[in-house]
Amino acid sequence: MKLQSRLTETSQDEERAAAAALELASVSYSYGQRKALDNVSFSIEPSRFTVLLGLNGAGKTTLFSLVSHLFSPRTGRIRVFGQDINRNSGPALRRLGIVFQARTLDLDLSVRQNLLYHAALHGIGTRVARPRIDELLQSIDMTDRIEEKVRGLSGGQIRRVEIIRALLHRPSLLLLDEATVGLDIKSRATILKDIRALVQQQGISVLWATHLIDEVGQADQVLVLDQGRLVADGQVSTILSETGTETINQAFSKLTGIADLNVRGGRP
Ligand SMILES: Nc1ncnc2c1ncn2[C@@H]1O[C@H](COP(=O)(O)OP(=O)(O)OP(=O)(O)O)[C@@H](O)[C@H]1O
């Protein structure tokens, strides 16, 4: 009887994980003695824009490094559309597109060369890659920059090229780590709008890591990370009612124990 109920529980767990775009179960990670992630569990639904909100040092980049299989968790399990990233990394990684915080385009190659190179890494031949690149560049209004060296682009344009590079292999889940950092207000707004449109129009699932509260939309799912612990998980309205606050800014301050402020930098 007990075995039967355990089997049912396991298969329910598996069904839930398969339905989720991303699922973390009891994930911890330490750098030596420093605990960067402490027993983090959550799942994000497909075709949603989910914000991973946390101050500098909260553990966002570490989490992305685990999901993208750069590091392996010491404990816990990570699944991308039901595929375990450690046991079945190939199929899981194929469904992932990632934009890391650090710039990674080759500055001395043209936009086209950078994109073709990345396509080749994913096994996409030039004949398929070329029209895909044209279409994606058109979607961000950058067709006329295709032959230009990346060095000649603005910070916002470089970021947009990195985003379309992450989309070249048509991932189902896109992870973006502080994608708007260092950009002016107009470029930030454009990028955020474009990514939200991807979710709306193409059903891509997005995990958007940021420390900027003003990037959270009222309808977003939000995960709040504080010093490696997940301290809130839900829609904005749920988080407000659970914390007894009126704005996400107040909720964040309460959850992380910082003074109420317009959070733009790190922990004061
Ligand atoms: N290579 C490393 N060696 C030792 N400690 C590290 C290393 N990388 C990160 N840490 C520590 O792990 C914790 C989480 O860092 P992480 O970079 O994941 O946070 P973050 O939320 O992405 O912050 P930021 O936006 O500043 O990058 C911090 O205390 C950080 O100092």
Q: How far is the CA of 70 from the centre of ligand 1 (A)?
A: 14
Which of 89-93, 199-203, 227-231, 261-265 bottoms out in mean pLDDT, i.e. has the lowest?
A: 261-265
Average pLDDT over residues 245-255: 94
- Which helix (H) or strand (E) segment is 232 a member of? strand 229-235
What ipTM, to 2 d.p.? Answer: 0.96
Report the pLDDT value the prediction gives residue 161, as an integer from 0 to 100.
94
Average pLDDT over residues 52-69: 95
Distance CA 140, CA 195 (A): 11
Pick from 31, 56, 181, 223 the residue to mutate for probing ligand 1's pocket: most ligand atoms within 8 Å of its CB. Answer: 31
pTM for the whole structure: 0.88
Directed axis angle between helix 126-139 and helix 111-121, to 10°? 130
255, 238 Cβ separation under 8 angstroms: no
Distance CA 144, CA 136 (A): 12
Tens-digit pLDDT profile for residues 125-171: 999 999 999 999 998 888 999 999 999 999 989 999 999 999 999 99
From the alpha carbon of 177, which atom of ligand 1 is closest?
22
Average pLDDT over residues 27-49: 95
Pick from 62, 68, 208, 226 the residue to mutate for probing ligand 1's pocket: most ligand atoms within 8 Å of its CB. Answer: 62
- For residue 198 and ligand 1, the question of a CB distance below 6 A is answered with no
267 band by pLDDT with thresholds 50, 70 and 90: very low
